[in-house]
Structure 1
Amino acid sequence: MKHIVVVEDNEDLLDEVLFHLGRQAAYQVSGARDGRELDACLAARPADVVVLDLGLPGEDGLTIARRLRDQPGLGIVMLTARGGLEDRVTGLETGADAYLVKPVDMRELVAVVDSVLRRLPPREEEPEEGWVFYPARWQVRSPGGTLQTLTAAENRVLQVLAEAAGQTVPRHQLASVQGKPALDFDYRRLESTISRLRRKLDAGDGESPVRAARGQGYAFIDRIRIKP
């Protein structure tokens, strides 16, 4: 679940923005009225996107954006009454990924937050607990922390193998996820996909966790977590 923090000193507007963003099932939302409350929110849980007013009491929004902009995996959406060209340019140069002028339609705000989230690189995670597979991103992370991007075919095959980790998956089942009936499928395509996938998952010592079971199919023999 993505964590969205809204920083706004107008409590009515803050409540309205939190209400509309909070209706999105994929979001957990938090509110802050100034920079100190924002820092407390971020200390409790890192944010994926900060929706930031500029005219805040104490530390202003531009100053906050400057110190947040180097945090990896964090998007900044400025939501402010300052609509002049110079204000927008300054906001974007300061580190904002998007700049919206009040009053804003809440549907547009939700769409912009969604768009910023899609453009963000995945947040770096500790390389622990074996392999991590991100099917929605078409990516897999090795135990050593190496992130590999997959093709659509590789992603489909790995999803089946990951869901059955430790067990052999028949070749016809792997063929079926490629979108064609097993009887009509050219199994050379599957072998090619498996070969590319094994090279990407090579742990560096020539040993891939994808192993062939002769005459049966393939298995992912290591532990792997599946995450959104």
Structure 2
Amino acid sequence: MSGFLNSTIARKFAMALSGLFLVLFLAQHFTINFTSVISKDLFNDISHFMGTNFVVQAFLQPILILGVIFHFVMGFILEAKNRSARNISYVKFNGSANSSWMSRNMIYSGLVVLAFLGLHFYDFWFPEMVHKYFESNPEDVARYYDELVVKFQSPVRTILYVISFVFLSLHLIHGFSSSFQSVGWSNKYAKGLRGFTVAYAIIIPLGFIFIALFHYINNL
């Protein structure tokens, strides 16, 4: 068992599960954020529920943060081992011969996504923690929408968000379908799953880009 847990297959399986979990969260996060272009009050109500619900704050949020950390740490470990394997002197590796650009550069698109998460935490999560737990401010159901749109007054920040979601799309185009392969779910439904994962990898990041541009234009 210890040998299996230390194997590359086990690491890929664990990383795939964490990736699928994060994909589910991404869809949920997009759904909530998209309500901000439909109804200010609806976005405030949902955001207030998510920000004050005990289960979400005490259980789901820590699990999400641990999932993000685990996914990226495991990605770095697998990348390091892959590079080590390719550097064996008696093997000539030609990555472009049988793999896509996205699969060969997952570490770079992942680093951009990680940098974006740092910006996103700086913009939203840290101020939220300060607001609730350090400043002890009274509850204000109407504050969430204004806190969101003010971030997109800056063209630089808006451009950074757009670029980050482009790289997220590139990361998902390969990573989402690979996650199904790693857990053994893609053999029977390979074609359908591939189509679904590519569509998801394009539509969800484009949706986030639309939200950012929508609020930036409305701030002009």
TM-score range, shorter chain: under 0.3
Normalising by structure 1, report the TM-score: 0.25
Q: Normalised by the size of structure 2, how large is the TM-score?
A: 0.26
Structure showing the higher strand proportion among its residues = 1
Q: Name which structure has the greater RCO, CA cutoff 8 Å, separation 6+.
A: 2
